[in-house]
Amino acid sequence: MKHHELQSIVASQINAATGTLNSDIADHRGELMKRYLGEPYGDEVVGLSSVVMSDVSDTIEWIMPELMDIFTAGDDAVEFEPMGKEDEDAAKQETAVVNYIFGNKNEGFLTLYTWFKDALIQKNGIIKSYWDEREVTEIEEYDDLTLVEFLQILSDLEESGEVTILEQSWEPEEVPTEPLRVKLEIKKQLQEYRTETVPPEDFLITPRWHSIFMDGCPFQAHRAKKPVSELIEMGFDRKQVEALPDAQDDLDEEEVQRFNSRNNTEFGENDEPDPSMREVTLFECYIRADQNGDGIAELLQVFVGGEQNEILKWSSGKPAVEEVQHAPFDALTPIIMSHKFFGRSIAELVEDLQKIRTVLVRQALDNIYVGNNQRPHVDETMMTENTMQDLLNPAPGHPIRGKGPMAGVSYVPVPNVTSEILGMVEYVDGLRESRTGVTKYNQGLDADSLNKTATGIQNIMNASQKKILLIARIFAETGVKSLMRRIHRDLRKGPIKTITARLRNEWVEVNPRVWKDRADMSVSVGLGTGNKDNMLQRLNMILERQIQGMEVGLSNPQKILHTLHKMVELSDLKAPELFFDLGEPPQQSDPTEGIIAVEREKAMIKGQVDLQKEQIKQAGEAERSAQKAENDEIRMASDLAQAQMADDTKRDLAMMDAAVKLALEENRALNATDLELIRSMNTPQAYQ
């Protein structure tokens, strides 16, 4: 793609995105800013009330503390989830480093505050994160130094950059004998990770982009007014930058309202006598275009200057065009509009109610004013030359002179309608509460709440807080999660090999290049004061169970220490070790040590399992041997009994056989005797 073709594409995208912002969106966001600032509506009448109610401001300022408490009450805004047990220590380390970079190095609280407020007022909040790499020059002056102190300071400064002595109180060839005074110039390469919120009116995006997430968006850009000096310091061609026209002052209705509010003269005061501080317009564009002709659009970073959309060049003469992986922007909105980048703000929900309440309160005040200053009716026959003059003097207690007892003066009564008006005001307040969730109960403004049931008040507060918690969850799952993933990714691929961070009250050096590409990350929300109390109650119950579990081996002192440390942290105290002297819980910052510990634990568990298996095996064999011996003994006893029974039977049979034989012999003998006797009786001699 030729240079002029790319410039034409970028210019058309800038014009389309700028036209979108300068249409209804810019006008509406400018009107929302006016309502937040309480600017007059323009329909005020001289002599009548011109009060402007502050519903938009009040609602947003009541939501902001809840949101900030949810995201910043805990130590970590985000928490990276481990991919396995061996990855827990690495995930904890990355969580601590990312939160340290965002919270400590980039004023995370103020960044979130500005980001959230932009979204609550002007539909969308935009944040930009990037590596700031450039050469910077610093001037330092020292007085009343000794030679040793000067050499030590010089040695320390030379480690961070190139040092030049601009002024010194002694001659270079001399050995100083008096206290030294020196002025130094330090040039060093700046490498810091930055997060900054972008004014909504300065962020350009493809018209009709269909998502709050911007991955795959054809065009995004950050428009900024920058001094010529800063662009030259960033490395752009000096001649080209100095030829750019002045930045326009009336680009956006939103910017005009922000700086040109009532009794404010900040807007328009940008005339600088020094040409190097003259402001010009810079567009940092991210556009998808087929630069190499392969038919696939690449994501290009293109720097454009001025209103003519001229692509800038670096001081080397190379065009400021580079292919990149990701655009540096993340966005959020409190009320997501499906398939649309621009959502709805809380200010939108309240702006019409603020107008209604303003009208009602103005009329109530006018009614009171007229009621307290009724129009007089004067009987001309009772007037004197002083009556009219006295009537025109509204001073309290000033007499009215005339003829007769009442001087012929009476007043036309004005109906008092303030009670009806205040009833309507209360009705509008109810509408605001139902729309936004900001009620007088969670604001602590209802004096009669003690007369209502505790359960009813709690139900009202829970219902109202759900809307605020929904906004917090939307913020967490869109912009905040995307930002923290971006920081994690940029630290892994950044120019710095080691980052020195304060983790767990100790300074450690971390190498983000060995981190894993985290696909899972949870955003910690719901850590406000009320939920902290609930968490403390739960931890108290856990602590009781842990103490009871020590008797049966279900807990140990280290687990109890971890619970106590967590309870101290939830009490907003930063040094748990000052309260409990049980030693530090086992924490490992080196992922390798965590892996070794896990493997060692696995080996110990495997050894215990094998030992238990062997013991079970031996016990089984012993039991089988005992059972076999018992069975053998029973079998032997049975065999012996059977043998004895067999012998007894055999003996009995022999005895029976002998008895039978004896009986038979006796029987035969008896029979023989009887036979002989019979025979003898049958002889003749016997008969004789």
Measured distance CA(293)–CA(308) in Å, rounded: 26
| 207 in Cβ contact with 181 (< 8 Å) | no
Rama region for 373: left / alpha / beta (φ>0; ψ in -120 to 50; rest): beta
CA distance 329 to 479: 9
Instruction: Encode pLDDT of 86-109 as tens digits.
Output: 777 788 888 888 888 898 888 889
Per-residue pLDDT, 218: 93
Structure tokens at 610: 């094998």
Residue 252's H or E segment, with its range, is none
Listed in sequence order, the residues at least 6 apart from 179 whose beta carbon sits closer than 8 Å to its beta carbon are 143, 144, 145, 146
pLDDT at 282: 93
592: CB partners within 8 A, 6+ apart: none
Element holding 465 (H helix, E strand): helix 454-475
The two tokens of residue 264 are 């404010």
User: Which H helix or E strand runs over 479?
Assistant: none
pLDDT tens, 158-178?
887 888 888 888 887 777 778
Residue 28 CA, chain-centre distance (Å), reads 29
Give residue 291's pLDDT: 85
Half-sphere exposure of 513 (CA within 13 A, CB side): 6
- First-to-last CA distance in the chain? 174
Pick out the chain residues at pLDDT < 50: 262, 267, 444-454, 456-457, 460-461, 526-527, 529-530, 584-592, 594-595, 678, 683-688
Spatial separation of the C-alpha atoms in residues 303 and 565, rounded to whole Å: 50
Identify the CA nearest to 441 among candidates 473, 467, 463.
Answer: 463
599's tokens: 């493997």
Q: How far apart are CA 560 and CA 54, in angstroms?
A: 51
In angstroms, the CA 142 to CA 133 distance is 28
pLDDT of residue 590: 47
Q: What is the pLDDT of residue 179?
A: 87
Residues whose CB is less than 8 angstroms from the CB of residue 513 and which lie 6 or more positions away in sequence, other chains included: 492, 497
DSSP string, 205-250: E-TT---SS-TT-SEEEEEEEEEHHHHHHHTB-HHHHHTSPPPPS-
Radius of gyration of the chain (CA): 48
Can you give the pTM of this predicted structure?
A: 0.72
- Give the model's pLDDT for residue 621: 75
**Cα–Cα distance, 81 to 76 (Å, whole number):** 13
Q: Which residues does 670 contact at the CB level (< 8 Å), separation at least 6?
A: none
**335 secondary structure, DSSP code:** B
Taking Cα atoms as reference points, which of 349, 339, 328, 58 lies closest to residue 193? Answer: 328
Whether the CA torsion 529, 534, 540, 545 is positive or negative: it is negative
Q: At what angle do helices 591-681 and 88-103 cross, to 10 degrees?
A: 150
Strand-strand pairing, 279-289 and 298-305: antiparallel
The per-residue pLDDT for 104 is: 85
